[in-house]
Amino acid sequence: MSPPCQPFSTTREAKQRDLQDKRCAALEHLTKMLPKLERPPRWIALENVKGFHGSDACGKWRAALRSAGFRDREIILDLISFGTPNHRTRYYLLAERETKNLQSLPPPCVRPNKEHLPPGVLISGPWAANRRHSLDEAHASARARPHQKENIFRTERRNFLQHLQVACRLPQSCTEDNLTLAGTSKWKLLPLPRARSDALLLCFEEPQVLDTNGDLQQLLQLGQTVEGTTWTVQSNMSPCRPVGDFLEQLQEEEIAELSLSAEMLSRPYAPGLSYVGRKDVRSFCFTGHYGKVMHKSSGSLLYLADEPVDRSALPKSVGLVRFFSPKEILNFLGFPESYKLPRDMELKHRYKVVGNSIAVSVASELLRLLLRGEGAERIKALEEMPHRSSHHGATDPNAG
């Protein structure tokens, strides 16, 4: 089951009216009918946006399940935890009657909500707290002045290197043209974890930097000399494949249809959009408004050049920026290669159906657990604590 998500969504178009939204009528009807069934199903799986948890509709549905003799389990999972370079956090409710497969999944621990961190080096401690404060201010400035975003973050990276050299008593070596760290200039700083003001995350565009890299080991040893600071390598349980692995070989007419025009790239909102390249391992969740609502919360755009995108001169990138195709979004969601959409369906309708679809790669593992009792340890390791949803906004994968 996947009831309409709009009554519980945090997107700007949603009203979050819960049961007051007429789109909840079908779920309410099922809630009334389920306890009356003479032969109810043995298993029921439900998927929805994170905001469904704790809603009145969710409470009524769970009460109906219990009345019909079901046991259930709430789970929150993010697609990126399964090795796909796309954030898509969703609420899942598994229910069973007659079987006991869900008992193989230990109950959720009473702990703060687990925050997914991208691969990188977590720097924490008193010195990191000062750098985090500066990074938070840089992000605030970038939001206020999106056209200067690249310069703001470049200045922040240079300041970080200079403070690191001072803390380690090294001669100043970074310049405007030399911002090399761990043997690469392709790195950024992210204000993560959100719950910690004494930490920040150092991320590298090339994931292999984290794997047996001599320059990284030297950096870690250098970092440990900063008094009261800890440097820890963070890696995913399922290393994310790069965006390029999910792209299609498109025809010229398809590329023309998906490419952003100079006029669109000149709009005031353009610098604030999310641009990801073939080597990136993070992107924003694609919604049913992708291609229609121009906002990073509707999904990322594909940037085809190797060098970083220049947000101050986006019109020069005409021909290098396009929307992901509907088929590429299906690839992110785990649909098989053989799955095709009708050729005569309009592009906006294809975006709507794929944006409102489920993550097949996640749902398939949950169904193995529900129907066969398999994979409980993996699900347990990847699940996030269900909690009343509150919108914090995603961190731009291109920031810092």
Strand pairing report for 89-96 and 187-190:
unpaired
What phi and psi values does residue 178 have, to the nearest 5 degrees?
-130, 95
Contacts (Cβ under 8 Å, ≥6 apart) of 132: 191, 196, 197, 198, 199, 200
The partner residues of 199 in beta bridges, in order of sequence, read 124
By annotation, the residues acting in catalysis are: 5
**Tens of pLDDT along 97-120?**
999 999 988 876 654 455 667 778
What phi and psi values does residue 83 have, to the nearest 5 degrees?
90, 5
Cα–Cα distance, 223 to 231 (Å, whole number): 6
Contacts (Cβ under 8 Å, ≥6 apart) of 40: 34, 68, 69, 70, 97
| 86 neighbors 77 (Cβ within 8 angstroms) | no
* pTM of the predicted structure, to 2 decimals: 0.71
DSSP letter for each residue of 173-215 = --BTTB--BTTBS-EEEE--STT-TTEEEEEESSGGGGSS-HH
pLDDT (tens, 9 = 90+) of the chain, 400 residues, equals: 988 777 666 655 545 666 667 877 889 999 999 999 999 999 999 999 888 888 888 899 999 999 999 999 999 999 988 989 999 999 999 999 999 999 988 876 654 455 667 778 999 999 999 999 999 999 999 989 988 988 999 999 999 999 998 998 887 766 656 788 888 888 999 999 988 999 999 988 776 677 656 788 888 888 888 888 899 887 654 567 899 999 999 999 999 999 999 999 999 999 989 999 998 888 999 999 999 989 888 999 999 998 888 888 999 999 999 999 999 999 999 999 999 999 899 999 999 999 999 999 999 999 999 999 999 988 988 887 555 443 333 444 444 4
48: nearest Cα among 12, 102, 7, 106: 7
What does the DSSP 8-state code read for residue 308?
P
Residue count of the chain: 400
Residue type, 127: W
Cα–Cα distance, 84 to 246 (Å, whole number): 9
| 341 neighbors 74 (Cβ within 8 angstroms) | no
What phi and psi values does residue 232 have, to the nearest 5 degrees?
-130, 130
Strands (E), 70-218: 71-78, 89-96, 120-124, 187-190, 199-204
Q: Is 356 exposed, middle or buried, given 0-12, 13-18 or 19+ CB atoms closer than 10 A? A: middle
Q: Structure tokens of 340? A: 């095709």
**75: how many CB neighbours lie within 10 A of its CB?**
23
Cα–Cα distance, 20 to 175 (Å, whole number): 58
Contacts within 8 Å (CB) and 24+ apart, 285-288 = 285/86, 285/87, 285/88, 285/89, 285/394, 286/86, 286/88, 286/324, 286/329, 286/332, 286/354, 286/355, 287/11, 287/355, 287/356, 288/351, 288/352, 288/353, 288/355, 288/356
